[in-house]
Amino acid sequence: MGILHKWWQVTWLIINVSFLFLSSSFVRGSIITDSLESLDDLLCKQAVNDVKGKFIKTAIVYEISIPSNLTGMKISAVRLRAVSFWNRGLNHSFLSLPPKVVAQPSMKRIAILYENLGKWSNLYFNVSNYTMIAPILGFIAYSSSEKELLDCQKIKIDTQGGNITIRFRNVSSHPKNVTPLCAKIGDNGTVEFSNMTKPYFCEAQSQGHYTLVIPSSSAKESSKLWWVLGFVIGLVVLILLALILVAIKIIKKRKIKEMEKVSEVEEAFDTFWIGDTKLPSASMIRTQPSLENEYHYRGGN
């Protein structure tokens, strides 16, 4: 009884833990926002709030503080005069924009917001068959004004054929014989791949979000599949085991009841008492053995 009860508890625990595990590994959480586009918006507003009240200088990079619920991301912003943008381009942090870049529509000042999603990257990028080996880096152009650093109105920038360079520094270790690919993540989750121009450098023609990936080795993927399959089978076996135990318990209970009934009846005949002790008597032969020929004999009469 006690053991059976414990079995149930253990089974329930395992079932609950497995569902927790399965749901956490298969359902991608939308903890912050469900798209990169809305994340851009969120981060831009954070930047606006963070520099509020400050005197904004041009060509100075502002490190933006991150709210505690987004710890691990890094953002910074810089405002440039369109003229200097055109003349010199921009070379800061992971990003290098070539000269002759123009904003569309044309404007006097342009702001660039740098995003490093850090440990949050996996939340926004999860393409089957690829493993991310660098954080997602993003850069977005916004219109700016004399007073503001940026105003969260996204603008387009045209490199006029020039190449944007993105440099990845925090690359996690990967097999030496596997060359990472650059991946551009579109707002709607689409991914465009390209070769690196040199180790951990990617070339781009437009603003957006970039990362480095390597193909997940098929062995790794299939072992994962087997693991999950084994887990599910194990779970089913456990549930069956629990059901069998319950069934055994029920059957035993019934048998005991039946036996009790029988013994109650038998008690009248088969037991006697000596003091407080109930003793079974030697079993009586209640049905007299009938001789085979007896019937014949009677029948013959």
Q: Which residues bind ligand NAG (CB under 6 A)?
A: 32, 67, 69, 91, 96, 128-129, 193-195, 218
- Give rounded-to-5 percent helix, strand, coil for the chain: 40, 25, 35
Instruction: Indicate the residue among 218 and 290 with the shorter CB distance to ligand NAG.
Output: 218
Q: How far is the CB of 216 from ligand NAG (least distance, A)?
A: 8
- Nearest C-alpha neighbor of 117 from the set 168, 59, 173, 61: 168
Q: How far is the CB of 100 from ligand NAG (least distance, A)?
A: 13
Instruction: Indicate the residue among 168 and 242 with the shorter CB distance to ligand NAG.
Output: 168
Instruction: Indicate the residue among 124 and 242 with the shorter CB distance to ligand NAG.
Output: 124
Q: How far is the CB of 195 from ligand NAG (least distance, A)?
A: 4
Q: Cα–Cα distance between 131 and 198 in angstroms, integer?
A: 20
Q: What is the DSSP string of 25-50?
A: HHSPP-SS-SSHHHHHHHHHHHHHHH
Instruction: Indicate the residue among 193 and 226 with the shorter CB distance to ligand NAG.
Output: 193
Q: How far is the CB of 41 from ligand NAG (least distance, A)?
A: 11
Note whether 210 and 185 are within 8 A (CB): yes
Instruction: Indicate the residue among 91 and 206 with the shorter CB distance to ligand NAG.
Output: 91
Beta-bridge partner residues of 140: 113
Q: How many CB atoms lie within 10 A of CB 62?
A: 20
Q: How far is the CB of 33 from ligand NAG (least distance, A)?
A: 7
Phi-psi map region of 299: left, alpha, beta (phi>0 left; psi -120 to 50 alpha): alpha
